Amino acid sequence: MVILLPENLRQKLGEQASKEFVDLLNSTIKDAKGNILETAADRFEKRLSDIKADIIKWMFVFWVSQIAVITGVISYMQK
């Protein structure tokens, strides 16, 4: 991203101060973009781990119910 200062501001600050100000703005924008990406990645990882835990929970419920049904069928067949 290119930041251009208005001419009257550049004249008041001077060339060196204007360059330093633009560099400061560019580094701030770069840091902000990095923070936004980091926050989005953290939220994605949290959602992914929540979904994974939910899937594991439902798999456990499914297998326990399957074992109960199979045990019931076997005990019924033995009678």
- The answer to the question of residue 37 being in a domain is yes
Kindly state whether residue 1 falls inside one of the protein's structural domains. no
| Residue 19 falls inside a structural domain | yes
Q: Tell whether the model's pLDDT for residue 75 goes beyond 80.
A: yes
Q: How many domains does the chain fold into?
A: 1
Asked if the structure places residue 48 within a domain, the reply is: yes
pLDDT at 20 over 80: yes
Residues ≥6 apart with Cβ < 8 Å to 25: 3
- State the residue range of the domain holding 40: 7-78
At residue 47, the pLDDT reads 97
- When mean pLDDT is compared over 1-10, 15-24, 32-41, 53-62, the highest value belongs to 53-62
Sign of the torsion angle spanned by Cα atoms 33, 34, 37, 39: negative
Q: What is the pLDDT of residue 1?
A: 65
Residue 2, pLDDT > 80, answer no
Percent of the chain with pLDDT over 70: 97
